[in-house]
Chains A and B, each alone.
Chain A
Amino acid sequence: DAGITQSPRHKVTETGTPVTLRCHQTENHRYMYWYRQDPGHGLRLIHYSYGVKDTDKGEVSDGYSVSRSKTEDFLLTLESATSSQTSVYFCAISVLLAVTTNTGELFFGEGSRLTVL
């Protein structure tokens, strides 16, 4: 257990509304990631963070923004939700000693299920 908490765990919203998902970790890990999970696609990286105020895009970043103002919190925002963003969203952290030693092992939260009507 890497002390990762996601909120909300379930949310139903309407097209065009803003949505923010929160990932909170308790162990001061530097690297945090947001993935979305869709049937047949596995998990795909949306955005990631390598420190406070340091973020970058993943492979499916369109329509999403992130912020990290504190080490422990990584927020994912959908400025104007669309039905194609209906998905399960996972936050993850990696435990690293240095960037060059990262082999890719991640620890995941339990997911946030978002439905956009």
Chain B
Amino acid sequence: AQSVTQLDSHVSVSEGTPVLLRCNYSSSYSPSLFWYVQHPNKGLQLLLKYTSAATLVKGINGFEAEFKKSETSFHLTKPSAHMSDAAEYFCVVSALALRNAGNMLTFGGGTRLMVKP
């Protein structure tokens, strides 16, 4: 089985301050891990992915995440928040195989990031 827990449903930061969105996962297999972002009334867009290469992963728009196997964590960070970062963020684990269709994605419940001016 696999599961994802996003530890905060809402995070509020001021523009220019660091962002930390927390994610813990569990998986019986070696997982791939992703962060997706969803802006209001839009579909999801891939921010970054970890697939067993470097444990520190850099994504778009200045975001990065570090895979820590010992802590089963994949927290998302950004040094300085921008107003345009306000969105919902989903941590995703991919490990279980779907029959005939690659891996199954399991989504966390999402973290809504608010950025104050």
Contact = CB atoms under 8 A, between A and B. Distances in A.
Contacts of A22: none
Interface stretch (B60-68, B69-77, B99-107): B99-107
Contacts of A39: 110
A40 B10 CA distance: 11
Given A104-B32, A105-B34, A42 B108 contact: yes
Interface stretch (A12-20, A65-73, A77-85, A95-103): A95-103
A27 interface: no
Closest 8 CB pairs of A and B: A102-B102, A42-B107, A104-B94, A108-B43, A50-B100, A50-B101, A104-B103, A108-B44
A96 to B, nearest CB: 6
Contacts of B98: 48, 56
Contacts of B9: 40
Interface in B1-57: 4, 9, 32, 34, 41-46, 49, 51
A103 B32 contact: yes
A45 B105 contact: yes
Interface residues of B, number: 27
Interface in A30-82: 31, 33, 39-45, 48-50, 54, 56, 58-59
Contact of A109 (B34, B43, B92, B100): B43
Contacts of A43: 44, 90, 105, 107
Interface of B: 4, 9, 32, 34, 41-46, 49, 51, 90, 92, 94, 98-105, 107-110
A87 interface: no
A56 B99 contact: yes
B49 A103 contact: yes
Contacts of A54: 100
Nearest to A42: B107
Contacts of B90: 42-43
B97 to A, nearest CB: 8
A42 B34 contact: no
B57 to A, nearest CB: 13
